[in-house]
DNA sequence: CATTTTTGTTACCCATGGCTAACGCTAACC
DNA sequence: GGTTAGCGTTAGCCATGGGTAACAAAAATG
């Protein structure tokens, strides 16, 4: 039986590398805190799991050396070096995959996130490098988020969103929040994409009306809040 | 919190679609039997798990409608229609991925299998179609195995291997067994690849010596057994 | 400052997917 | 025909990763 490199394919529990769930916890902590400690309840909300699950995951992640073990009862979650490196690697893989899926395989913008979300857990670092090379080491993904190539610290605080500016402003779209497929689809079909210049015509509690090139589009506030901008 | 399409990412157990393990069982049954019923012990050996695990998996797979439930105590494992469709889809995804990884991303032949083995469980059918289109619907993967596009029944019985022919024969390499990375690497570097014409110079219990183009290479029997041939 | 809300933890339950030990049965070997 | 080998199942164990219910402590609110 030609089964030398058996690599028992069914071993879920006894896998050495961090599992899907663990990687998601690490990524969530990183994305919520950007390096700073994060409250467990925030992680729970972000991942749609109970606080209890986060509490249990905490112990496991500490055991893996991904979380700084700090027996303090105050206990915000803080990533270790190893944890931060893993988080950055996950972000890199995710954004490279999104770029690849969109640019090379024509996957619609509002669907690349979900697809990348699953694939990012199973590709090797070698494959990620090959994808980066294939794409010419792109500097940002199709939603406008930068792709980290070293383990550089994240940039400054978050940018303001389109929901936060007053009428009359002229702004440039920097990025869309890829976690909300529905908003991404609506924004993309309205032409609100990274790099676009917008003029805010009106902004009330329900809607934000912007001019985007020649078009005038009306966005609901939830969608507008998914758009990060610069002036 | 921009979390509309939350799609709780951590749900492992309560996932609706067949898990990694389930897909591997179905694929193994299909590849061992090619549609015909398969003994549970054979599946256990193929996947490097205990007979007990197969026995338990059987119940779960029957519950999923992937296995024909046949309360008979004789009990060979037989895939249902749904199970066979899943198996074929898995094979298709696997071979498309191998082709893509090798052709587009230059992943070495002996590494495409392991990488595809993990990715095949997480890509959507839509993405598989896009990869197929991107590659121009290739008819076979880089090891020489055909890529099924409909749910066509598998071809006739298995071809003879290079280990089974006598000295003097002239044969054409059809495919390599991708499950043995080490053999694939050795064969590829010897030029024994699908489409190559070989002349068998000598064949004894330890080695098989073949001429491959201008080169004469000596293969050990285990490696030779991984090469499917036609005359 | 008192009350209310939020938070993190414990104790317990459930399903998946591995495992070993042990049993009864079938089938093959001598 | 008797022994032996192999097969499928049961019972019971373990880790992971979900979940409730309940509670004490911390934080926010009045």
Break chain A into its structural domains and give their ranges: 20-79, 162-230
For range A117-141, the mean pLDDT: 96
Strand partners, B67: B79
CB pair distance less than 8 Å for B5 and A181: yes
The pLDDT assigned to B75 comes to: 76
Burial B180-213 (b: 16+ CB within 10 A, else e): bbebbebbbebebbbebebebeebeeeebbbebe
Mean pLDDT of B139-165: 85
Instruction: Say yes or no: do domains A20-79 and A162-230 share a fold.
Output: no
d(CA A163, CA A170): 13
Distance in Å, residue B50 CA to nucleotide D27 C1'? 52
Q: Return the CATH class of domain B82-135.
A: mainly alpha
Q: What separation in angstroms does the CA of A143 have from each of A177, A200, A222, B49, B92? A: 7, 20, 17, 43, 31
Question: What Å value separates CA B37 and C1' D8?
Answer: 15
Residue pointed to by tokens 């296995």? B67
Percent of chain A topping pLDDT 70: 89
Q: The domain A20-79 is classified under which CATH number: 3.40.50.12280, 3.40.50.300, 1.10.10.10, 1.10.3720.10?
A: 1.10.10.10
- Backbone φ, ψ for residue A219 (5° rounding): -115, 145
- Nearest CB to B106; choose among A9, A10, A130: A130
CA distances from A140 to A143, A151, A161, B42 (A): 8, 15, 19, 48
Q: Which phi and psi angles does B20 have, rounded to 5°? A: -45, -55
Contact between A180 and B118 using a beta-carbon 8 Å cutoff: no
**A162-230: CATH, from 1.20.870.10, 1.20.1070.10, 2.30.30.90, 3.30.360.10:** 2.30.30.90
Range with lowest mean pLDDT among A23-37, B68-82, B98-112: B68-82
Q: What mean pLDDT do residues B141-163 have?
A: 83
Chain A residues with CB under 8 Å of B135 CB are: none
Residue range A124-148: mean pLDDT, rounded: 95
DSSP code of B164? Answer: G
The pLDDT, as a whole number, for residue B34 is 77
* pLDDT, chain B, mean: 88
* A57, A59, A60, A64: CA torsion to nearest 10: 130
Axis crossing angle, helix A181-189 with helix A109-119, rounded to the nearest 10: 150
Q: Each residue of B103-133: pLDDT tens digit?
A: 999 999 999 999 999 999 999 999 999 999 9
Residue with tokens 């046949």: B70
Element (H, E) at B171: strand B170-176
Sheet holding A170-176, edge to edge: A215-220, A207-212, A197-203, A170-176, A227-230
* Confidence at A63, pLDDT banded by 50, 70, 90: very high
Name residue A229's beta-bridge partners: A173
Please tell me the number of Cα atoms within 13 Å of A12 on its side-chain side.
Answer: 10
């Amino acid at each position: 039986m030609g089964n030398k490199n058996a690599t028992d394919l069914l071993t879920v529990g006894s896998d050495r590398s961090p599992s899907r769930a663990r990687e998601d916890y690490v990524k969530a902590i990183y994305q919520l805190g950007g390096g700073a400690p994060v409250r467990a309840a925030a992680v729970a909300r972000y991942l749609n799991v109970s606080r209890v699950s986060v509490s249990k995951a905490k112990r496991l992640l500490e055991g893996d050396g991904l979380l700084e073990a700090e027996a303090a009862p105050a206990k915000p979650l803080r990533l270790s070096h190893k944890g931060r490196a893993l988080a950055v690697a996950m972000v890199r893989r995710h954004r490279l995959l999104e770029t690849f899926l969109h640019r090379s395989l024509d996957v619609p913008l509002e669907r690349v996130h979900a697809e990348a979300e699953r694939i990012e857990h199973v590709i090797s670092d070698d494959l990620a490098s090959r994808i980066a090379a294939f794409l010419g080491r792109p500097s940002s993904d199709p939603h406008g988020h930068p792709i980290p190539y070293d383990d550089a610290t994240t940039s400054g605080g978050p940018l303001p969103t389109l929901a936060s500016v007053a009428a009359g402003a002229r702004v440039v779209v920097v990025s869309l929040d890829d976690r909300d497929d529905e908003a991404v689809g609506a924004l993309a079909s309205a032409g609100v994409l990274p790099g676009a210049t917008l003029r805010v015509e009106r902004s009330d509690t329900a809607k934000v009306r912007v001019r985007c090139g020649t078009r005038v589009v009306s966005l609901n506030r939830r969608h507008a809040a998914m758009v990060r901008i610069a002036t």
